Chain A
Amino acid sequence: MTSNAPSLSPHRSKAAHVILAVGLVLILALLLGARLYGRTPAVPRPASAHVPPPATLQPGALTVPCWACQESESWPIRFRTDLDLLAPLGSGPDNAALWFAGFTKEIGPRQAEWEAALARRVEHPLYKNVLPADDPLLREAEPWCDQALMRFYPDVYELEGYATRIPNLLVAVTLARSWAARGRAAEDLDSAMEDFRRAIRLGRLLRQEDVVILSDLVGLACIRWGAEGIFDRAQTAGDTELSLIAAVVVGEAAPQKLLTSERVTAVDLTPRTRSEPSGLRIDLDDELLEKIVTRATADPDRRFRGEAIVSLNLVGYLATEPEQRERALAVLDQLSGSDDPVVATTARLARDMAPDEEMLRSLLEIT
């Protein structure tokens, strides 16, 4: 009898086997769930957002800013007209830059999709190349333009001096043009206005961060396309007040672009850069250096401060006068302690990183 007793025990111990088998399945399932949950989605989805209606124009509140007057020299290069009168930003809490990051050149995970979208573009008499009105990329992008924030630095790209990345701005250009074109083609006035306002909101978001001049200029163009559309449709519809607001906004676009050009040219070191056997050298007078210092330390627009900081970097390493080099590097050192993290990081990199002469020769077309 005792020899038979062990034969009963294997059946009783199967509970442990079954529990182990089920446990293995559970562990694998939990691991899969956790990885799926924590995975960065290739196509992020924005939070739902509310877009308020345009603000009401108060009597006497609309003025035509004199961008040609001397007083404009101290203005930040921003719309003086309240753009909420045309297209207030949405209330979405997400960072719209996260969506645009997917299409970053060279490294964006959605480059192939973007190339496919480029192939879908059709010619438009006014806006050149636009996506078809029902293109899925337009639908996907729309809720992102209802967000309240677009911030690339440092949320998407790190500030790395000359190696700093910028977004693929052709995406924004194509989207805004496509919405403007669709708005002009829409029979329904509300749908048309929705598209024009979306283009303006995208432009406002692009200008919001105020770090890169190129992004700012594209944002300015987006706002202009939307405002021009509103002007035309409102005028046709007999909405004089709305067309008047749109006209003032459109009128502010060209001066801003010209003044951007003036501010860039004022600290441009290209004409003062020459090639010597020992390398590139910059000859500049002290007056220009002080103008660059003032731009870097006190300009009301951060993007122009960044531009001047790059100029100080060139002066700090390439100026022929040692005193000017010292002055430039001292200002960069001072700016590296700025409260503005973007200014501080840019200045620190400019102070510590010598410019790449080969790249500069290529850019400045110096042999």
Chain B
Amino acid sequence: MNDTQQPSTQLFAGMQPPGPPPGLRPDVLASATAALEEEPPMDRWAQLWHSRPLRLAWAATVLALVGANLAITEAPAPSSARAAGSFLRSLAEADAEVAEIARLPRLQLDARSLAAALLGSPSRAGRQATAALGLTDHKETKS
């Protein structure tokens, strides 16, 4: 048994496992090198950052907002209005239509009508003139 049964190592002593293909090593090394040199896949933020349409949209929005902010001018507040002229001058320069409405007749406070003066007159001539104008009643005239 021992003579017929030889150890397997002896049986396959002359056999060697096949080696890798001769070009495998450089191919693998080249692929690995290329893989390492490639950019890693972009995440969502990077995709947003690098998106050309988004960049254009962002730039247009910023420009529009800056323009709108610059274009807004404050309307003059009426409450801050300051006088340049004068109150009396404003009255004097009031439009003719307003002046016509607001024109006040200058009254003479000391003025007395002729009839009023006659009524107050103690003289007979005055009373007669008053009666002639019909400014007193008949009874008073008779007296």
| A binding-site residues for B, Cβ under 8 Å | 1, 4, 7-8, 11-12, 14-15, 17-18, 21, 24-25, 28-29, 31-32, 35-36, 39-42, 98, 101-102, 104-109, 128-129, 155-158, 160-166, 169-170, 173, 212-214, 217-218, 221, 257-258, 260-262, 264-266, 268, 356, 359, 362-363
Contacts and interface: CB of A to CB of B under 8 A. Distances in A.
Contacts of B37: 4
Interface stretch (B4-12, B22-30, B75-83): B75-83
A356 B84 CA distance: 14
A67 to B, nearest CB: 15
A163 B94 contact: no
Given A42-B75, A363-B92, A163 B85 contact: yes
Contacts, number: 156
Contact of A35 (B43, B72, B92): B72
A1 B87 CA distance: 87
B101 interface: yes
Contacts of B95: 169-170
A359 B89 contact: yes
Interface string B65-77: 1101100101111
B46 A156 contact: no
Closest 7 CB pairs of A and B: A101-B78, A28-B65, A261-B104, A163-B83, A14-B49, A15-B45, A217-B102
A214 B78 contact: no
A40 B75 contact: yes
Nearest to B37: A4
B39 A260 contact: no
Contact of A18 (B45, B79, B84): B45
B105 interface: yes
B96 to A, nearest CB: 9
A163 B88 CA distance: 8
B137 interface: no
Nearest to B77: A40
B79 A104 contact: no
